[in-house]
Structure 1
Amino acid sequence: MSTVQTQIRIDATIKKQANELFNELGLDMSGAVNIFLRQCILRGGLPFKVEIPQYSKELLNAADEAKHISRDSDVPGYTIMEALKKALEI
């Protein structure tokens, strides 16, 4: 089997994270890409579902609320579990 060199552009952070994962799996980037391409050929398409997630309005509102709370300096934060437990006691 002959091989050819291929160049692709990848976000630096994504590449670093992927390399760390592949190293844990005993693979390098080339091996992982070859597995991906073989799976695409085998399945006649991408080997996973590609879709835009559809989140409920309730979940999106809760995420927005959590974001606002996390940035509100008037909301106390806790670094000690006992202090958090005490604050939750009513």
Structure 2
Amino acid sequence: MAAKSANLYARIEPEVKEQAEGILSALGIPASNAINMFYKQIILHRGLPFEVKIPSARPLDMGTLSEEQINEELEKGYADMKDGRTKPASKVFADIRKNYYL
């Protein structure tokens, strides 16, 4: 008779584990179920279920910007909003749900 479960031991950075488990808890998903879902996605995709690459542009670290640089970034965002280069949050979340089957 085959075992119904197997143990997995992995080392995880404590902060990463805490943040991920907080999100999973809010979603009502135990960590073991999330890991099982991840493994099933690896099987379905025959590899990692997401792209693994170095991003071409890094996100801004606001903590490293001067007040002048922060104001420049805010001005860019304001200009995007005025020129219609933004989407309402409800549209963005609807697209995410549609594209990722949530």
TM-score of the pair, normalised by structure 2:
0.55
Deviation at 1:68, TM superposition (A): 5.1
Residue in 1 aligned with 2:66? 69
Structure 1 length as normaliser, TM-score? Answer: 0.61
Question: Is there any run of 5+ residues in structure 2 with no aligned partner, and where?
Answer: 69-102
Report what 1:24 is aligned to: 26
- The residue aligned with 1:2 is 4
| Residues 29-57 of structure 1, C-alpha deviations (whole Å, 9 max, x = no match) | 100000000000011111111110112xx
Who is 2:14 aligned against? 12
Structure 1 runs of 4+ with >4 Å offset = none
Tell me which of the two structures has the higher relative contact order, counting C-alpha pairs closer than 8 angstroms and 6 or more residues apart.
1
Distance 1:24 1:6 in 2: 23
Percent identity of paired positions between Structure 1 and Structure 2: 34
Name the count of aligned residue pairs.
65
Extract unaligned runs of 5+ from structure 1. Answer: 76-90
Give, in whole Å, the separation in 2 of the partners of 1:9 and 1:68. Answer: 34
Cα distance in 2 between the residues matched to 1:16 and 1:68: 28
For residues 1-27 of structure 1, give each alpha carbon's deviation from its aligned partner in whole angstroms, at most 9, with x where no partner exists. Answer: 611111100000000000011111111
CA RMSD across the alignment: 2.6
